[in-house]
Amino acid sequence: MERKIRVLLADDQSILADGIKSVLSSCPDLEVVGIAADGFEALRLVDSSDPDVVLMDIRMPNMNGVIATQEIKRRRPDVKVLILTTFDDSDYILNAINNGASGYLLKDTSSAALIDAIKNAYEGDTILPAKIARRIADAARMVSSDREIKLKRGFGLSDREVEIAVMICEGFTNKQIASALKLTDGTARNYISSIYEKMGTSSRADAVAKMKELIAHE
């Protein structure tokens, strides 16, 4: 690796933050450039320390990790944000991912898995442990059968295409769909292209508009 990956930690529990710093400092490819105790300090340190990856706790005082992630990605879209928390609440997962997080890790992750996740996020991968990927997929499936029937009948979609169409409608990116449903990026793109073709559109915005119109008015 030509240079070290610069990592900023954001966690209001200083003992945990110090422990994570110790783990990351043992890896010659990583450099911890700061520790923030809340979302506001994380924003300030992103500007001053220029990290490549932010390890972001969810529940912090003053500004939580979801809002801080959204603001970091607005200001610095090049910075990768990995959510690191003890809470596996599906609302937090979806909010963090949809606000630009590169993935989600639980604090019981092993040291080796944490280091690998930081490296993979830096390279552009989406980090979703198996049980979290299942949670996202389950959330995507928790829709009324009425909505699924409308999409299936209205556009002639297969069961898998309906599942993916719902996720598109809810704002998931291609990469998030692939990760949640354990598809390759290419397979996910093929499904999405087929959905667009059946809807008679070539853009995500048009596809979402058509789906919402069908669901609302049929």
Helix (H) or strand (E) holding 97: helix 90-98
Under DSSP, is residue 55 helix (H, G, I), strand (E, B) or coil?
strand
pLDDT bracket for residue 142 (50, 70, 90): low
CA distance 154 to 171: 20
Going from N- to C-terminal start, the domains of the chain cover 5-128, 143-217
pLDDT bracket for residue 136 (50, 70, 90): low
- pTM of full prediction above 0.85: no
pLDDT score recorded for residue 48: 95
pLDDT score recorded for residue 192: 95
Q: pLDDT of 80-113, one tens digit each?
A: 999 987 766 666 777 777 788 998 888 888 999 9
CA distance 32 to 53: 10
CATH 1.10.10.10 fits 143-217, yes or no: yes
pLDDT bracket for residue 50 (50, 70, 90): very high
Q: pLDDT of 195-204, one tens digit each?
A: 999 999 989 9
CA distance 7 to 119: 10
CATH number of 5-128: 3.40.50.2300
